[in-house]
Structure 1
Amino acid sequence: MRRLLLLGALAASIAVPAAAQPLDPPSAIAVHVRDGLLDTTDLSWLKGAFSRATTAEKADWIAALRWADACSAAREREVRAELRAMGVESVALPHAGDNDDRCFTFGVFALRARAFADWASFDAAARAARTRWEIFAHGVRLGAESVPFEPGWVNGNAEAMKLLRAVVREQAYRRAFSWRMPGQGPVQTDPEWALLEAYISVAVGREDHRNTEMLKALIAEKGWPSIPRVGAPASNAAWLLAQHADLDPAFQLKVLRLMEPLSARGEVSRSDYAYLYDRTMLKLSGKQRYATQAHCEGGKRLPQLLEKHDAVDARRAWAGLGPLAEYLASLDASFGPCPAN
């Protein structure tokens, strides 16, 4: 599992003796926690990361780094234990992330702080980025809460409506990541974008966590939202929420097992099942089956490691997916060709 390893990444020049750390944050972080969430309107808890920090601020920073590293280690143990209880010994698990918002948010902003020479430049960029993000987020909230969303085909199915509503905000937040592309959003400097991306990441992470907990409760009560029960759009919405539950690999595996027999009967989308299979199994075994996940290698877009290289197009056809060559070409068309190096 890829851990934050903030001690090494952010404080390589500071010798910090290893020590067991409680998961409760140190006082310098705890005072910025509101209702279990680390406050992002006041980032003064990051001052110790910069060279002109006071002795006390640097000491607080070292304590925070220890705590953040302990968070990652504890989450790794937790995820592996959950998977082991499901009969899976993960050999890949490149990351599970911190599903504790305090640890997650700390890591997101701490990594961005490395790009700034001093607190003043960081704080100025953060203020500019936060203003833009808050305006956007307020607009999303207004739209989600005030615009009627009652598609007639739902036919009063409360479960379907709940799933569809859950997707609206997380998709709106995710669209903000495209602002960096030309013509897609407000122009910002590189430093501002680094911080704006941090605010987007935290908002998306919080929305994903909220949706994951909602989906867990729904499944515990009624089972997986199949097409016969909630309709194809709402069933697809449930899949999308599970697809984005990356901080909870054990839950993704549980969903995959629920969807498998349903996919054989046509009660869930086979393409949804294929995408979740690949996303989940790449984390657990390091291999995928349907070649839905690609990366750049040697200047070319290629599928990540496959369970089997033969008959991949046949497996994709079963899932309702087009030939692999066409899929890779479509990714190049959408995101641009891979860099030559």
Structure 2
Amino acid sequence: MAPGVVLLGTALGARGCPLDTDVLWETAGPPVASAEAPETLDPSPAVRRVVAAVRAGTAGGMFPPVARRHPEGVLAIDRHLAGDADARLLTCAFGEARFAPLLDLLDRIDAWCGTAAGRLAAVVAPDVLSVTNADLFGPVVSEAFTACAAGRGTDVVPGRWAWFAAFLDLFGDRLEADLRRSWFEEPEFAPPVTALWAHDAETHNGGARVLRLRMEGGGHVAYKPRPTGGEALFLAESRTAGQGFPEGPPASVFALLNELPPASGEIRLPVLRCTSDGDRTHSWQEWIEPPAQWGTIRRSEDEGLRLEGTLLDPAEAPRFWHRAGSLTAACFGFGIGDLGEGNILAGARAADDEPLLYPVDLEVFFAPVERLYDTGLVPDTLHGGTHHAGLENAARWCGVDGPAACFLPAPGGGLRLVLPREPFARARARSVIADRLGNTGYGRYLPAFLRGMFDAWTLMCVHRDRVRRLLADASAGRFVRVLTRPTALYAEALNAGSPPDGTVFGRRELEQLARLDVPYFFRAADGGPLLVIEPPSSVHEAESAIGELWPPAAAVRRGENLDLSGLGVALRDAVEHVFGDVADHTVADSRYGVRLCLSGPDAGEVAFDWPQAGRRITYTWDRTKVRLRLDPLEAPATPAGAAEEIRRRLLRLDRVDAALRSRWADDGFADTELDERLAALTGTAMTWLRDVVARYGWPGETLVGRSAAAAACRLVQHADGPSDFQDHCLSLIRRAATAGDVPWRQVAYVTDALCVRDGRPQLFGTKFRAVEGRLVPFPIEGPERVDERRRRMGMEPLNRYAARLRRRFPLPGTQEGRAS
């Protein structure tokens, strides 16, 4: 059952209202033409205007819709209440005592509108704040109607309106203050507000809802009354000088990645206008409209149902899915979650030539995701869960949202208000993308999608340090949502009026459930205590009854998962999601440099050509493990036995070299015999290494493991020649570092070694010599900038490194030597 349907408990389930029947209220038959208002009803002006709006057909979603059960197993909405007959139905209903709280609510809304319209006259158009504005007040009025029909109006309606009115008052204050700054100054977002819509899904933080605003300039804006700052952190569009703004650093992570030079291929991630307020408890965000590529994706046989979505030409689809693959990899890498249907949309901005996927509800990030389904973009096929993932691969009729209650035809021609047990049919789906050939999802375009994942991942790996610095700076003062429990569990508690068996809620959870909200928790993006909002906007610490909670995970924030091997599981999960939609399980796509061979839903191999690094990266997987292999772009695959032999020999050489070099250091580097033995050892080893490189490429971490890869770099540092091969090795090591196959500090060590060999100043200060009984660095080029160069390579400051080196290799007679 959809969350929006289950959450009828917000109106009925509280305080123990039994829900053992679907029927809440029923008319005996159609109202007769002569029926007038009951004598007991003296409608107020507000009530009369609402009834008149129903009669005129302008009341929209002010009341539950009229639906029908469709043979496809869904409820299809036929219409909203409109016309004389429905106006008379409401008039008769309003005469019943149970609906008195609803009539009082309409009067209170009308009074609030009168006051607010005057106070906000400079920023909101006169006709927006009206009791008949179904777009704004429909969710509250419809919920109140349903609660009254069930006999719970007195318990539910007054408190619910009090929270919503306080929320609207706070929104008005923020609107007046925030319109004076940020991008509202642009013509399309210029005030006043000419239309307001309130989202009808679950509420948080005292009845707070997402609002949509249409501005006089024609632009649409979303107002989000919650503290999380994922959109500003990841999606904010940079304002460049070419747009009439001063140059500045990238505004967000996705903006940075879009501006960086490609690592293995061009990418394009979604960005939009968004901003957070000063206290970080609300935000404004550009509303993403459906793209021009929009059409009917599916029709029912009886033509009674039709589903619209993004409909791409076959020429557009590969580019769309390549970009969607890049977004998928970014979401996996940064631990972005909760991206099911409704939270990620296909859309287009005014400047877009083609549609993109936008994660418009980006509240959960820095989560320790282990599988791609943890993002919500694909379903968890092993452990169940909803099939309404963010990357749907079937045009299903059912959706995750729908009205909390609806009217169905009743015997005798009347209407019956019911709690729906079936899902509602959706008429449009922003997360369903198809092509004009009848394919839904990315299965038909799997090479493009996987290449998009790879291109974004290599970019994040190559520029990991720069991304990490931006995250460290931009995360300060921002918050991330913490999903303490599944929404369905909270909904069950709301429906039942008490916690499910075996569940113990904390005080802060119970407080939010008591005001009929789905509990909402968050914490600082760099960690700290669990937090909660006390309406209207004060922040407090919240105890937790369920132990350690995530996010944020510090390792994800620091980018520790961003290495080439980290993408493998996501690739496997992406393939499994669409395996049944793939027509050819063995593909060599030269356009994308992708070779794909699938032997089952959870077993296969994909190889990516990476010309910039001179490598072919191959991922092989089965149900239990994923392997990574790096080969020269034109070289045959390295046999597993050869790789193991290379690893063992590198580690053996490194052990012998370390032992001899330690004895040489203990003697103050004066033992010429040891010096000669070391030279002979490294000379022989370099001859062998030349053959390895010629046959298999540089022995990086993927081929031989981390320890042996470091040993190979040390071998080049310690060798006396040949110089041309050492120079070639440095270029290979630099390529490997670009590919994430060795740490950048190895580039620094080898670079300095070759500088010293050639009699040039070193760059990073890694090479030392004994001078007057003390280890000191060889000359350094631009020593005032050495720490900055070391920082870019992920290395500690020079003075700290020098102290550690002197402790490790104390010279005889020195202070370090006496201390040791």
Indicate the TM-score class for this superposition, using the shorter chain for normalisation. 0.3 to 0.5
The higher relative CO (CA closer than 8 Å, separation ≥ 6) is in 1
Who wins on radius of gyration, i.e. which is larger? 2
The structure richer in strand per residue is 2
Q: Greater helix share, 1 or 2?
A: 1
* TM-score (normalizing by structure 2): 0.20
> What TM-score, normalized by structure 1, do the two folds share?
0.44
